[in-house]
Structure 1
């Protein structure tokens, strides 16, 4: 993610989270505090964000929707040096096998996160701050083994992430984006624009011949349910064929996205979370889910139909229109978020590397950090070797195909 949010929150939404016990506060060094759980923490966090800079996965709407649908055990950490500018970050406590982790709210769905900063430039943090933060979490939640913040953005709107000096390692995947400041014609000029326009005209003819087409933007909860139903179906089929676990398969996660995007349709003047789709012949063929900031739009997820029109690339068509619209709105960045894919490279001219912060709080946490460090190193090594990475993907597809056939036979 390349951008951030500075806005006043809509009223009346901080009280919807599950009725949890009142928050507890544990003090570390003189500028540290951890507000633990419940309505009190969520209300305080929304108030902090009223004049703060933050990324969509740390927005109050995201945090509260996740608490309502997936996990109410939320930890809000704050940092306030000498009463000056304040930093706040929301984490959820989860248990994975033998380790209990406080991680960024949303897990793998939270990409390009950035803590909520208010009150002006934030000072550079040092290792002693990290140690103080760990001490604060230990005091408030002695049951937590590991503090983990993954896929953090190094900067937003020119503001350096105060957590960057504390990074444990860089994420294994780049985040790709498009600089929109030259306008749509300028973007096309540097991205094989003549070929893209020719392909776009050809797609229009094919879609017209297939029964006509329309680009849809969800504006009601009914629209959200329809487009997400299509997305979940298309994404599940695609991931199964690739041999990759479906991160959207859990019903609680699906309820979270319905809540998040549904609530966003009721926000004025424009939604912070946006669903768009391409319908051809009355059938949804491509879907994108995005988050918006004052200066950018971030494509958080996408899916296409693997059907008779797949060869016409409905996903490419939808991205073409989405990028053109972003330029027309005067946005500075179209962000494809984390992940290195060919269709992104065809457009993108900006590349950043997100980073992780991992802080062990117990002996089990130390073991977990060591294992994660090794896993990240292996992933980076594999993905930096095109031949090896292609072989891994081919193996996944083969195993995914076998699994799909076996499940079809059982059905």
Structure 2
């Protein structure tokens, strides 16, 4: 549920005509256009690079479906690709970057890098988004099914907002289940003071002053928000160490442990396009001075697409100055530092955590496309729906959720 509307980077395209006859003609033309929709599937990214990069320029198409992001993942992991290319005649309508892997034991077609994506939109042209209002859902689903049949048992596209900053997703035409995780956003206003007015400004400022005094008493700190390429890569390696220690302490699997995932994120550090304000990944950190000189107390990796900042991950070293809440302090520094840089939205990503709720006045529901491609895929779809709804039920009941977390930590599954 959204507590308020997200700021809009680009308005959805729609007709402003009030004349009934003109509107009817436009609807008829749209129906004719979508009747020409054709879908083909490619097994590599290269043939579509030029068209893909053109779609990348639309800031409402997620960074996680961007060409460079997907290329970095594909190089690191090497999973079979099924790049879905939708066309209206000779005109590109959309691209869905999909790879084939095992999920819940089924051969599944998912977004490239789905396990490390905080928001997925696919890449759609503004024209197709408008025309899709006249596309029959069953026809759209059948076209996708025919294109992908044989390559996988199930099409599973996860973490999709049905409406993103005023723009409706054509993927909403497909069979869906609500994802158990919501995303949390903080709109950035003219300055830090204005931004804080959306949350508990007084309490937030008081907490910041307390954290600042405690850090200064320990000898001070440096806030790292940029640096050389080598330093950025070193900070990412330190993040892997900190996060691995944290997962191990909780008895949880380390989702960053695989060498392929580490290689992908190191590759994301090198994604930079100043012209479009795209940043694949940038490491930020609180580095202590004094007795702990040089030690990293908190780390976070953020990405940027247009005016949208996404926090991809964060970690703290609980053995150092934990009483200063260095993670919270780092978020203050990151958010304050984005003002005056053309940023309109700070995205804390998926997952319900207390610090996110304390910062973010906007909560956005995400959905998963669940489209069986075979008889076995029907079973896979039922399994995913059951698991997702079970998790959503648990998370909506705090007492049960906290109990489940404790059990999970004890038995390590």
TM-score normalised by L of structure 1: 0.84
Name the CA distance, whole Å, in 2 between partners of 1:197 and 1:51: 37
One of 278, 282, 285 as aligned partner of 2:286: 278
1:366 aligns to what SS in structure 2?
helix
Greater Cα shift, 290-299 or 58-67: 290-299
Q: Residue 328 of structure 1: CA displacement?
A: 3.1
Aligned to 1:258: 266
Aligned to 1:38: 44
Q: Does the aligned pair in 2 maintain the 1:5–1:293 contact within 8 Å?
A: no
Q: Residue 81 of structure 1: CA displacement?
A: 3.8
Q: Residue 38 of structure 1: CA displacement?
A: 2.4
Aligned to 1:232: 240
Aligned to 1:194: 202
Q: Kindly tell me: are residues 192 and 98 of structure 1, through their superposed partners in 2, closer, same or farther at Cα, counting changes over 3 Å?
A: closer
Q: Does the aligned pair in 1 maintain the 2:79–2:101 contact within 8 Å?
A: no
Greater Cα shift, 52-61 or 81-90: 81-90
One of 200, 209, 222 as aligned partner of 1:214: 222
Name the CA distance, whole Å, in 2 between partners of 1:378 and 1:246: 23
Name the CA distance, whole Å, in 1 between partners of 2:246 and 2:320: 15
Name the CA distance, whole Å, in 1 between partners of 2:7 and 2:64: 12
Structure 2 segments unaligned to the other structure (5+ residues): 11-34
2:120 aligns to what SS in structure 1?
coil
Q: Residue 327 of structure 1: CA displacement?
A: 2.8
Q: Does the aligned pair in 2 maintain the 1:45–1:60 contact within 8 Å?
A: no
Q: Kindly tell me: are residues 5 and 62 of structure 1, through their superposed partners in 2, closer, same or farther at Cα, counting changes over 3 Å?
A: farther
2:122 is equivalent to residue 110 of structure 1: no
Aligned to 1:12: none
Q: Does the aligned pair in 2 maintain the 1:41–1:76 contact within 8 Å?
A: no
Q: Residue 243 of structure 1: CA displacement?
A: 3.0
Q: Residue 396 of structure 1: CA displacement?
A: 2.5
Q: Kindly tell me: are residues 371 and 259 of structure 1, through their superposed partners in 2, closer, same or farther at Cα, counting changes over 3 Å?
A: same
Q: Residue 171 of structure 1: CA displacement?
A: 0.5
1:43 aligns to what SS in structure 2?
helix
Q: Kindly tell me: are residues 364 and 396 of structure 1, through their superposed partners in 2, closer, same or farther at Cα, counting changes over 3 Å?
A: same
Instruction: Say how many residue pairs are matched.
Output: 375
Aligned to 1:62: 69
Structure 1 segments unaligned to the other structure (5+ residues): 7-28, 404-411
Q: Does the aligned pair in 2 maintain the 1:3–1:156 contact within 8 Å?
A: no
- 5 Å-filtered alignment, 1:160-171, equals 160-171=168-179
Q: Does the aligned pair in 1 maintain the 2:174–2:371 contact within 8 Å?
A: no
Q: Does the aligned pair in 2 maintain the 1:51–1:118 contact within 8 Å?
A: no
Greater Cα shift, 362-371 or 156-165: 156-165
Q: Residue 207 of structure 1: CA displacement?
A: 1.9
Q: Kindly tell me: are residues 179 and 387 of structure 1, through their superposed partners in 2, closer, same or farther at Cα, counting changes over 3 Å?
A: same
Name the CA distance, whole Å, in 2 between partners of 1:72 and 1:211: 48
Aligned to 2:98: 91
Name the CA distance, whole Å, in 2 between partners of 1:40 and 1:308: 46
Aligned to 1:71: 78
Name the CA distance, whole Å, in 2 between partners of 1:271 and 1:87: 20
Name the CA distance, whole Å, in 2 between partners of 1:132 and 1:51: 27
Q: Kindly tell me: are residues 370 and 39 of structure 1, through their superposed partners in 2, closer, same or farther at Cα, counting changes over 3 Å?
A: closer
Offset from partner CA, 1:288-328 (integer Å, 9 cap, x none):
11121222211111111111311210000010111112233
Offset from partner CA, 1:309-351 (integer Å, 9 cap, x none):
1121000001011111223324221111111110011111101
Q: Kindly tell me: are residues 395 and 3 of structure 1, through their superposed partners in 2, closer, same or farther at Cα, counting changes over 3 Å?
A: farther
2:119 aligns to what SS in structure 1?
coil
1:248 aligns to what SS in structure 2?
coil
User: RMSD of the alignment, in Å?
Assistant: 2.6
Offset from partner CA, 1:51-105 (integer Å, 9 cap, x none):
4441011011111001111125222112234556611110111134752211011
